[in-house]
Amino acid sequence: MRLTDRIIGMIKEPAIRRKLADALDCTDQSIVNYIKKNEANGELTKAAALRVIAEETGLSNDEILEDTEKEVA
């Protein structure tokens, strides 16, 4: 799972980045890097980060995350 593009756009706001940094016990620059990478099952998909994102956006985890499984051809 990774964050949807819609959520990536929303969490670029400095206030949300600061809250994410506090929740994940890291720096704002780390959050910027996590946003750029948006890795599957990365730091931004941890429960603490999802809690902050849900509180700030009012969205559920189903609306925040997207499946990253690739279709087998």
Burial category of 1 from C-beta neighbours within 10 Å (exposed 0-12, middle 13-18, buried 19 and up): middle
Q: Would you state the pLDDT for residue 10?
A: 95
Give the start-end residues of each E strand in the chain: 2-3, 65-66
Predicted TM-score of the model (pTM): 0.88
- For residue range 4-37, what is the model confidence (pLDDT) as tens digits? 999 999 999 999 999 999 999 999 999 999 999 9
